[in-house]
Amino acid sequence: MFIADAHCDMLWKSAEGSVPVVNRDTLREGGVQLQNTALFVPPSLSNKRQYALLNEELRVLQTLTQDSTKQDSDFMLSLEGASLIGDDLKEWTRLKDAGLEMAGLTWNEKNQLAAGSEQPNQFGLTDEGKDIIEWMNDHKIILDAAHLNEQSFWQALEFAGRTAVSHTNVRALHDHPRNLTDKQISALIKQEGFIGLTFYPYFINGTEEADFSDFGRQVEHLCSLGAASITGFGSDFDGISKTMNGMISPAGFPDLVEWLLQRFDEDTVKGIAGANFLRFRQRA
C-alpha cells in the first residue's frame, strides 16, 4: 500500500545537530514512499541565525535527495512559516528553485503576511499575504494553512488555489486552535483540499497519551463529514515532544494501516494511507 506523510520536521532536527526519528531506515521500515519535509526556523532566533539554519536545512535535503536510491522515499519540500522571508520575492524564488511545493505563511506568530494560530481573530491576512498567495498560485505552490488562525484561514481560502492543512486534528474531539472546526473541514471538502492528521496526543484528545483508537475516532469524524477522500497522515514527527502509542517513528506505519484496515473499508484506508495526498499533490 502506498504510504505518504504530509508533514515532518526532520530537516530542522538534523540541522540543529540532533538525530531525527524520520530517516532513511525508519522510512524504509515503514514503507513510506512520499515524505513531505518542512523547512522550519524558530522566529524567536536572530535573522542571521535563522538564515544559517534555513541554509543548513536546504543542504540536508540536498544530501538526502542526492544519496537516495529507488528504494528510498520521494521527498517533497515545504515551508513552515514565512516570517523570515516575508514578501521578499527573491527569497521565495530561491526556495522555489530549491524545490518548494507547499508553504505556510506563519507558524504560531503574527507576521507581515498573516496571523498564526495563537493570535486573536481580529488579526488576519494582510495585503502582503494576499500578494504572496497570488504569487504562490502563479508558481503552483500549495498553501499550507496548518498554522493560520481562523480569520487568516478564511481570508486565505478566498485567494488560494489548492489548500492543505498538513498537520492538524479535529476540533470537535478536542477544542484547540490548531485543530479544524467542522465548518473548516467542510470548506476544504468543497475546495478538494487536503487534511493531514497528526500523531500528537494533545491535539488528538487533550492529554499526554493517545492510541490507535483515539486516532480512529479522528478518522471516523472526518468520514462522517464526507472528508474521507481528502484525509491522510500528517505525523509532525520531529516537531512534537510526544507521539501516540505505536507511532514513535515512521516504522510504525504498517501497524497503523493494519489497524485501520480492520475498522474501515480498504479504499478508505488506501486513501488515508497515502493515495489522497499523492492525488492532491499531482492535481496541485
Q: ∠ CA 9-173-116 to the nearest 5 degrees? A: 45
Q: 142-144 and 231-233: which strand pairing?
A: unpaired
Residue identified by cell 483540499 is 193
User: Do residues 138 and 161 make contact, with C-beta atoms less than 8 angstroms apart?
Assistant: no
Quick check: 43 pLDDT over 70? yes
Residues 6+ apart with CB under 8 A from 171: 179, 180, 181, 182
Q: What is the pLDDT of residue 133?
A: 99
Q: What is the pLDDT of residue 108?
A: 97
State residue 170's pLDDT score: 99
Listed by start position, the domains of the chain span 3-283
pLDDT of 71 reads 67
Is the per-residue pLDDT at 70 higher than 90? no
Region for 99 from its dihedrals, namely left if φ exceeds 0, alpha if ψ lies in -120 to 50, beta otherwise: left
How high is the pLDDT of residue 171? Answer: 99
Q: Is 47 helix (H, G, I), strand (E, B) or coil?
A: helix
Give whole-number Cα distances, 150 to 157, 223, 228, in Å.
Answer: 11, 22, 22
The mean per-residue pLDDT over the stretch 242-260 comes to: 98
Determine what percent of the chain is predicted with pLDDT higher than 70: 99
Mean pLDDT of 18-29: 96
3-283: CATH topology: TIM Barrel (3.20.20)
List, for residues 146-170, the tens digit of each pLDDT value: 999 999 999 999 999 989 999 999 9
184 pLDDT higher than 80 = yes
